[in-house]
Amino acid sequence: MILETIILIGAVAFIELLGLHGLPLLFSYGVIIVLCALVLLQNRKVIPPFIPTGSKTVETMIRLAEVVKGELVYDLGCGDGRLLIAAAKKGARAIGYEYSLPTFLLAKFLTRKYRTITVRFGDFWSRDYRDADVICCYLLQQKMIDFEKMIWPQLKTGARVISHSFTMPTVKIAKREGSAILYVKDRL
């Protein structure tokens, strides 16, 4: 895992140093995606599937979370970065975590024009989220149970969690619209 991350970062840095644009840049990222996919298949790691969130749901999630300028938004399992982009357009700083190398590279490519977006490769479970204003996630039900146990307790008062489709079993839902589910961290 560490070696793969170093190789990935080195490859992305090399492409950035070349200053490629347009088709050559896209081709270079494509080659890295294929190579990373082969490495992952070889190591047989279990990676959750990338299921893109539709544009209407993205809009609803950002609106329900009431993202505003200057806030810090995390997207756990950011996929191609579409929620990060929507948050950045509202003036927020956005940090996304993605565990799939090909999807991580896609997110890096699609968010490259936004200075307030950071996409990080790796596992988001052991991170510190005490500074989060908003956390976006599209986690399966069992992972939402894990989220409630591991991440929810560390959030500050007023932090919002906006989930696509799946719920935390014992936390009160603040608002629900379609598949967007909002939670607001109350005082302890």
Q: How many CB atoms lie within 10 A of CB 90?
A: 19
Q: What is the pLDDT of residue 48?
A: 74
Q: What is the pLDDT of residue 42?
A: 45
pTM of the model: 0.77
- What is the C-alpha separation between 103 and 4, in angstroms, rounded? 14
Q: What is the pLDDT of residue 174?
A: 97
Average pLDDT across the chain, whole number: 87
Q: Which residues pair with 118 in a beta bridge?
A: 95
% of the chain beyond a pLDDT of 70? 74
Q: What is the pLDDT of residue 25?
A: 66
Q: What is the pLDDT of residue 101?
A: 86
- Structural tokens at position 47: 């990676």
Contact criterion met (CB below 8 Å) for 106 and 33: yes
Q: Which of 90, 99, 159 is nearest to 131 (CA)?
A: 159
Q: What is the pLDDT of residue 130?
A: 97
Task: Please list, in sequence order, all residues whose beta carbon lies within 8 angstroms of the beta carbon of residue 39, skipping any fewer than 6 positions away.
Answer: 4, 101
DSSP state of 134: E
Question: If DSSP codes are grouped into helix, strand and coil, which group holds residue 98?
Answer: strand
- What is the C-alpha separation between 174 and 90, in angstroms, rounded? 22
* Cα torsion 40, 37, 51, 116: sign: positive
Q: What is the pLDDT of residue 107?
A: 96
- Structural tokens at position 94: 């956005």
Task: Please list, in sequence order, all residues whose beta carbon lies within 8 angstroms of the beta carbon of residue 21, skipping any fewer than 6 positions away.
Answer: none
Each of the 188 residues of the chain gets a pLDDT tens digit; together they read 555 565 666 666 666 666 666 666 666 666 666 666 655 554 555 667 788 999 999 999 999 999 999 999 999 999 999 999 999 999 999 999 999 888 999 999 999 999 999 999 999 999 999 999 999 999 999 999 999 999 999 999 999 999 999 999 999 999 999 999 999 999 65
